[in-house]
Structure 1
Amino acid sequence: MMFVLGPSVHVLGDALDEYLAGFNYQEREEMKIETLELVTLLADGKVQFIDIRFPEEYAAWHMGFGKNIPLNELPTRLHEFDKTKVIVTACPHKDRAAMARMFLTVKGFNSRYLKEGLLGLAEFLRGDKAKGLMEAMSRPPEVVTSKKP
């Protein structure tokens, strides 16, 4: 298999070089999101949840929320991401989600990957927790207005 690399690869490479040069302990922590924090942000409408598994995996089982954008389709589907929200990538464990998160970060998105993976999320969302999340996500977002004295 032969790959032809165009000018955009150099731009991405430069951005990746810059990202890696600035990588530190704080970034190491901030690139991950715990399940409990994810669920809270989902309920508040502050996250775009992306399942980056292949379509066949997604068809076999998936969460009742989020969007499936397979890892190999990310470069051609960037227009589907909401730059006003935190993008959280997920796969069963975290290997592909971490790659997707790095790609999105280098492309200028505020992104994190789900530390416990989809399997950890499924375990967390059992019973009442799943019900509560789905109810919270179905409510319209609260509008905060400032009160003038």
Structure 2
Amino acid sequence: MWFILVAAALIIGYAVLKYVRQQQYLKTLTSEQFREGYRKAQLIDVREPNEFKGGHILGARNIPVTQLKQRLQEIRPDKPVYLYCQNAARSTRAANILHKKGYKHLHQLQGGFKKWDGKIKKG
């Protein structure tokens, strides 16, 4: 029984530590904050191409998280990167990948595209 409690405590501790570390390099922004800064940054939609074609934030480039490691040369490390996906799970994964590769100014849209209330483009 104690083994299960220790294992659960370790898993919870690891998750909390990972979350705290992530907050140091990834800023989660509201739609308003995101809108204020993304025009001066690289706006990357990390969803799959079919999702992107269904509608995306005006000015975004589609680099799916599944292709990110192979397409890193398309993202400049010296400029801020604004990421979004459908609900913020994949953009978090993308930020982790970019952080490990040395990218520093990483931002994600709180709640993802489904919470976006700004201009969009279809197609």
TM-score above 0.5: yes
- Report the residue type matching 2:42 in the other structure: Q
Equivalences for residues 1-149 of structure 1 within 5 A: 20=18, 23=21, 27=24, 30-43=26-39, 45=40, 47-110=41-104, 111-121=106-116, 124-125=117-118, 130=119
Query: What displacement does 1:62 show?
Result: 1.6
Indicate the RMSD between aligned Cα atoms, in angstroms. 2.3
Query: What displacement does 1:112 show?
Result: 2.2
Contact 1:88 1:101 in 2 (8 A): no
- Distance in 1, matches of 2:92 and 2:29, equals 11
More strand per residue: 2
Flag the structure with more relative contact order, 1 or 2, with Cα contacts below 8 A and sequence separation at least 6. 2
The gaps in structure 2 that reach 5 residues or longer are: 1-17
Query: What displacement does 1:88 show?
Result: 1.5
Query: What displacement does 1:54 show?
Result: 0.7
- Distance in 2, matches of 1:102 and 1:88, equals 13
Query: What displacement does 1:89 show?
Result: 1.3
For the pair shown, the structure with the greater C-alpha radius of gyration is 1
- Distance in 1, matches of 2:38 and 2:89, equals 22
- Distance in 2, matches of 1:60 and 1:114, equals 18
Alpha-carbon displacement from aligned partner over 1:76-124 (angstroms, at most 9, x marks no partner): 1000112222111111111111111111111111212211211212xx2
How many residues matched?
A: 101
- Distance in 2, matches of 1:51 and 1:61, equals 10
Partner of 1:133: none
Q: Which runs of 4+ in 1 moved over 2 A?
A: none
The gaps in structure 1 that reach 5 residues or longer are: 1-19, 131-149
Query: What displacement does 1:34 show?
Result: 2.2
Give the share of equivalent positions with the same residue, in percent. 24
